[in-house]
Amino acid sequence: MPIVSKYKNEQVEAIINDVVAVLQQHNAPMDLALMVLGNTTSDLINSNIQPAQRAAIAEKFAAALTAAIDQE
């Protein structure tokens, strides 16, 4: 069963394009880009999620990231 998002694909794609453009503007190599995205994710979780829920949210995020990676 496909996951239904409450956000429109166009909105998600526009934000992704903006984030990628900023990383390209800074000529960020892959390791720096991943570090920035990881730190941003940590900051978002730590500043917006109650402490008791943070680990569960991080685990769900990690599982979703792993599932989204092409394993070919």
Give the 3-state secondary structure of 23-52.
Answer: HHHCCCCHHHHHHHHHHHHHHHHHHHCCHH
pLDDT at 1 over 60: no
pLDDT at res. 72: 73
CA distance 17 to 24: 10
pLDDT at res. 2: 60
pLDDT, one tens digit per residue, over 16-71 is: 999 999 999 999 999 999 999 999 999 999 999 999 999 999 999 999 999 999 88
CA distance 70 to 29: 20
- Could you identify the residue written with the tokens 């166009």? 10
pTM of the model: 0.82
Tokens of 51: 């402490």
